[in-house]
Amino acid sequence: MAHIFHPNVAVPSVDSEDLRFPNWPPPNPREILSRREFYRDRMKYRKYRAPMRVFEDSPLYALYRLYEWIMVDHTVNMRNELELFWWNRWPVSSIPDPGENGDAERYAVLACIPALIVTSFNERINQGLRREEPHSILSAEEQRYWAATPKNYEMEPSWTESVAPLESTLHIPHSQPWSPQLTTLDDPEASPEFKKKNILAIKPHIHFI
């Protein structure tokens, strides 16, 4: 069960295990959006990628971490998670169905994220990068070698298609000072991946070097 935090409840100390491990599952979108800075600050103290007493990372845990960083609008850490997913070499199609678990809005957001990963990774593949590369620092000769290998494009897991769009539009505000907030799903800056599930969000910065 997700932890729901209230302003009149004392925040655990930095040394608290509650801060070092992710909540499982994380709070729903509206709870996070109602106190974005609170959740963003808590996540700064996180040391582990999986819940307490879980000792191995997985595509599902990565999906939830991406969800959290998207919801608190932390672009750098979201891209760090994308890069971690890339180098873990998990097929995007291997992300298991997290299930609704009584929260249709969280489920809809989660269902959009694999499409973002696919868009990000397939663009890198088109640029000549490969997930099969042994490491990120390659000589010019090694770069040419890998760029000449077959393009193994990523695909979404099948479960995302079965997640119904939300009945009421969920708006995920952005914090980009140079851009006005979106007001319609038809805005050219609206993410097409989120739009499919009736979620209004600006196109996230999903591309990384």
DSSP state of 202: B
- Answer yes or no: is pLDDT of 10 > 90: no
pLDDT digits (tens, 9 = 90+) for 66-83: 999 999 999 999 999 999
| Residue 107: count of CB within 10 angstroms of its CB | 19
Per-residue pLDDT of 55-64, as tens digits, reads 999 999 999 9
CB neighbours of 149 closer than 8 A, spacing ≥ 6? 130, 132
Note every long-range contact of 166-171, with CB atoms under 8 Å and residues 24 or more positions apart, other chains counting.
166/104, 166/105, 166/108, 166/197, 166/198, 166/199, 167/198, 168/198, 169/198, 169/199, 169/200, 170/29, 170/30, 170/105, 170/108, 170/109, 170/198, 170/199, 170/200, 171/199, 171/200, 171/201
Q: Give the mean model confidence (pLDDT) for residues 29-51.
A: 94
Least trusted range by pLDDT, from 9-23, 65-79, 124-138: 9-23
Q: What is the CA radius of gyration of the chain?
A: 18
Confidence at residue 9, expressed as pLDDT on a 0 to 100 scale: 38
Q: What is the pLDDT of residue 35?
A: 96
> Which of the four pLDDT bands, split at 50, 70 and 90, describes residue 17?
low
Kindly report the pTM of this predicted structure: 0.88
